[in-house]
Structure formats: structure tokens, C-alpha cells
Structure 1
């Protein structure tokens, strides 16, 4: 009889949580599947590919939420008025049918649920996983930023041209275009390294949380600044290699690094340097 009573009590205790999770799964599972399919198969828009770090970021956010479940339950139920505001905004965005608003409704609804169920303490507890979800949500930010990256494109083209000149290549740089061997290579907005920069900062945030270094403002600033510097440097080297391959007629190598698995491998190696950087920063702190 005692066991029989425990089961209904457990179901009753977690009924609200189960209901919320079920409703969110029904509403947003198709959207998340669409994101993952687009990121994996590159069938999503180029701008939305900028958020492909969500492939690892969303599961990591779910993991953090799961590990914090006991702390979440200990927080007293206390509805914050902003919770209802976010829930209404999220509902309106979802029902609008516009892809950008439907996407953004996901983190909006999650913020609303945290505030409505547990108030500000609940939102503070879940802030890092919520931030990971928000920064992995495809939106129009790349469209808005791209018109302003021309100076970065010009800098990358000029630096790549300077490097290749040191190796004796006959190269001319005009704005964002590099002319070598009778061929032209353009450092387009999509080649300016924004995607790599976003991914570097995102993975940097994950590493900071995982290592506990996020609690240190100094370590956070050092790692994120280093991630940005590594990203820009790696992108300059990548564009230099692409120009070299295309200008010398090595189309196989060009395609391998530009759109093949070589580009993914190059990005993975770059992200691996963030782990080394964090170890260096942590090592200096311990000394």
C-alpha cells in the first residue's frame, strides 16, 4: 500500500513539469528538427548557418538544466509579472507564422516560464542555459551585421595579399578582391569570418561554464578576447590558403577547404585551441 501511494504522489508532484515539457515538445519539436536538419545538411539559409553551434549548444543547455533540477525544485514558487509578459509575447510571435518570430518565440517562452514559475531567482539559476539557447536561435542578426563588415573584409583581403606577397606570388589587392594568376578571389561578407567568430565566442562561453571559470571576470574577458583574436587570425589564414589554392589552379584543395570537410576540420582545430588557451589562463591563475 505504501508503494502504491508513493507512485501517485510522485506523479502529482511532477505533473505540472511533465505537462509543460509535453506541451513544449509538441509545439517546438518540429522547429528544433528543422534547425538540426538545416545545420547538418546545410539546407538552411546561409545566415541561419551562422547559428550551427546550436548543434552542440542546445544539448549542453539541456544538460545544465537537468543537473540543476534539484536546485530548481528548492526555489519557492513565485510568479513574476514579467513572466506573463514574456509568455504573451512568445505566444504572439509563434502564432504570427513569420519564421524569425517563430524562432525567437522559443527562448521568449522559456524565459517566461522561468519567471512565471520561480520568479527572478529561477531565471537567474537558468540564465546560462537560457543564454546558450538564445544565442543558438536563428534570427536576422547576420543580415543586420553584414553591411557593416566591409572594413573587416578589406582588412582580411589586404592581410592575405601581404602574406602571399612574402612568398613571391604576383598578387594585386583591390578592395575586397585579390587578383592572382589571372584569377580573382573575393572576400565576400560570408567569408569575413562572422560565423567562425560567433562559434568561437559561443564555445568559449560553454568552456567557461564547464570549467567554472565563468565566475571570474578576468578569466572570462581573457578567454572571450582570445577567442575573438584566434577566430580573426584563423580566418585570415583560411582566406590566404583559399586564395593560394584558387590562384594556382588547385581547385580540388580549394573546394576541400571552402565547402568540403576540410573547412569543418579547420574550424574544429581552431576551436581546439580555445581549450589550450583556457588551460593557459587557468594555469596562470593557479600560479
Structure 2
């Protein structure tokens, strides 16, 4: 196009990235956060990877073990008869669906909850694998698969990472995101290797069955997780960690009773989990009430 070679296109692609880097370096001002005491990596990870966040990581990891990337959608289209020259059109369909669904997915997650929206995203991916498994291989069906895959990716990209801050203390969110991306990235690497091998040696249907199995397992686990979380939120006294004694529980209740948005002193399950890391300050020199949630 326009007489440009592939090398020229790659050189041109450096321009927006360079402009963005210049803006970040010279125009974006970030406030440095204050760290209490000396930072220790392993204790921070241990504090983060527990409770509901650990359960969420397991569910997301299982799903990611079967969540192949867009390259298999392009391969499916090619095997369905779409020529190499039209494969970029299939990729465009994936991206258009991704962009179009992102904002509606975010709005929906704010209304019904991020966990429910994530189940919807997993369900969309499940439908994608079912279409690969059962629909005849032709150009129209390949485009339909690409459209659904783009919608799934837009929902998950918007919602899944937004869940992380709600399950950890604000001072440990950076660590939590690191653990989250390590989990997802590692599982995703395994997924593409397994799906690629199944696709090459046994065909697209066997690869789709594998992804379908991990997705169904993830949907079931996430649904059970959401049901349990909802029940515990209605009775927060059952949600506090088993190791919490009466004094520690009174401390957390005291923290929330002084907050303006604590529902008249009521403490939800999620609030208990987030505050547990802060609980030790009750018996220390620092006043835990200095730091509102």
C-alpha cells in the first residue's frame, strides 16, 4: 500500500510509540507514594495471595489455560477457505468487536458486578469454541467466530483486570497486579502451546474441546465463588479469617464504624478481607484509623 515495504511500515509504527513516550516522560506528573517501613517482596506477596484473591487467581488461571489468542482465529479462517489476502479483514473484525464492546462491558460490570460480567465474557468465549466445534467451515462462519472472539476479548480485557483492586489493600495493589499478570501470562503461554499442538496434530475440533472444558470449569467455579461471596457478604461475621480473635475483630469493626460509608457500622465480607492486612496496627504504635479505605 502507498509503495511502502514491510520495513517502512515498522519504522512508521515507531512514531506513535515515540510520541507517547515523550508525553509520559515530560508531561505526566505522578505523585510518589509513601511507604510505611521497609518494603519486603516475599511478605508482600504472601499478604496478597490469600483468601478471595487467591481463589480468584485460581479461577482466572484455569480459564487462561484454555484461552487461545487471536492467531488461532486467523488460522481457523484460513482453513475455512479465506485467502491470505483477506486474513487482515478477519483480524479487523476481531479488533472492531473488541473496541465496540469495551465501553458497554464496563458499564454493564458497574451495574451487575464485575464477577457477573466476567462470567458473561467466559460464556462468550465458550460460545466461540462451540462454533468452531460444530459449525461448518466456511467464510461466513469464520467471520462470525472472529466477531464473537473479539467480543469476548473486549469484555475480559475490560472487566477481569478491574477485579484486582477490590480484593487487596490499596498499598499492595502493585504487587497484586504483578501476581495477576504472572498467573495469567504463564497460563496463557501454556494454553497456546497446548492448543497449538492439539490443532496441528488432531485438528481444530480437539483444540476447541480442550478450551471448552477449561472454560466450563472456570464458569462453574466462578459462579460458586460468586454465590459464596454473596452469602458471606450478607453475614460479614462469618467472613473474617479464622485466625482473628475477638480483639482483632473489634479493631476492624472500630475502623469501619468511623468510616462515613460503612453502612452504619456494618462490615461486608470484602471489607473484612481488605482490612485484615491492616489489622496488626491496632496493637502497634500506629493508629489504624489514620488511613481511611
TM-score, structure 1 normalization = 0.28
Larger proportion of strand: 1
Higher relative contact order (CA closer than 8 Å, sequence separation 6+): 2
